[in-house]
A = this chain, B = another copy of it.
């Protein structure tokens, strides 16, 4: 049996409610009494029973994160900083990795104050079940796919911006290296952005779309190796992810080609970790901290039942460095 408010009340010789007040730092308790109670509570190793508390207060100060695809490493950096930020606002974060519907159920039963769904798969979410759960819910993924608010990094636009820039400085043979499968809607958005923009300019060729097996460095390395075997090399590369970019750079470094003289590079990137220091690669995307801020801000809003827009789109930034140059003629 663990320590309850009663045990402390007994030890301090006061009533339960006084202890409750003292613990919540109410001004209705004398300082002396308060500090005495606090001391005893600490001695006893008292831990408030959230379960009992929330039964009356209807608040748990906890947000639940639904993360069905734990084995994909990409979003974990985001989750980590979101958790840190929420902690600053004195919210705890709990993760669930079951199927979306059953995770929601668990969180709803635990009376979390808000739910964040990482929707990085073509999940068949039972939206009715989610809505019925009665817990304010936010999505991270593609907007307008669900009946609840979604924070959406505009990946399509990001890649379009990259293409536009490369075209504007004269490139016509641009390759996209990334995940071309249709399993992950976020990756798909990038591909669509690339294809649209290339088609619009009438320069999309079959060889320009380079499939990778995954999103790791190694995948980028292998993909770039295959590109290097093409008869006519592209003059510019857009990479679908930070890790891919690292592998791509490695593959290039094993040839006599030089960036940006022979090849311009822009990487899609929202990750802050930067160990491409040797050569600053041009990047496009929304910086992670910006996403984190928006997500947490929105989460905090919805816990207060504030009504917010369904689609919260974050606009990407294009940061061009000396990894880009006009093609040699």
Binding site for B on A (CB under 8 A): 1-2, 45, 47-52, 54-55, 60, 62, 70-71, 73, 76-77, 79-80, 83, 87, 92-98, 102, 105-106, 108-111, 132-134, 216-218, 221, 247
Contact, CB under 8 Å: A105 / B51: no
Nearest CB in chain B to that of A99: its residue? B87
From residue A130, how far is it (CB to closest CB) to chain B in Å? 11
Contact, CB under 8 Å: B76 / A70: yes
Contact, CB under 8 Å: A109 / B47: yes
Could you list 7 A-B pairs, sorted by A, with CB under 8 Å?
A: A45-B132, A47-B108, A87-B98, A87-B102, A92-B98, A94-B95, A94-B106
From residue A83, how far is it (CB to closest CB) to chain B in Å? 6
Contact, CB under 8 Å: B54 / A51: yes
A76 to B221, CA, bound (A): 24
A-B pairs with lowest CB-CB distance, top 8: A50-B109, A95-B95, A218-B218, A45-B132, A217-B218, A92-B106, A71-B76, A2-B134
A109 to B55, CA, bound (A): 13
Contact, CB under 8 Å: B71 / A80: yes
Contact, CB under 8 Å: A109 / B76: no
Residues of B within 8 A of A132 (CB): 45, 47
Contact, CB under 8 Å: A52 / B50: no
Residues of B within 8 A of A98 (CB): 83, 87, 92-93
Contact, CB under 8 Å: B97 / A80: yes
A95 to B65, CA, bound (A): 9
From residue A77, how far is it (CB to closest CB) to chain B in Å? 6
Contact, CB under 8 Å: A79 / B70: yes
Contact, CB under 8 Å: A106 / B52: no
Residues of B within 8 A of A87 (CB): 98, 102
A34 to B5, CA, bound (A): 38
Please pick, from B76, B77, B216, the residue contacting A218 in the complex, using a CB distance under 8 A.
B216
A94 to B93, CA, bound (A): 10
Contact, CB under 8 Å: B106 / A62: yes
Residues of B within 8 A of A1 (CB): 134
Known pairs A47-B105, A47-B109, A218-B221 / 8 extra A-B pairs, C-beta < 8 Å: A49-B109, A51-B51, A51-B54, A70-B76, A95-B96, A110-B110, A216-B217, A217-B218
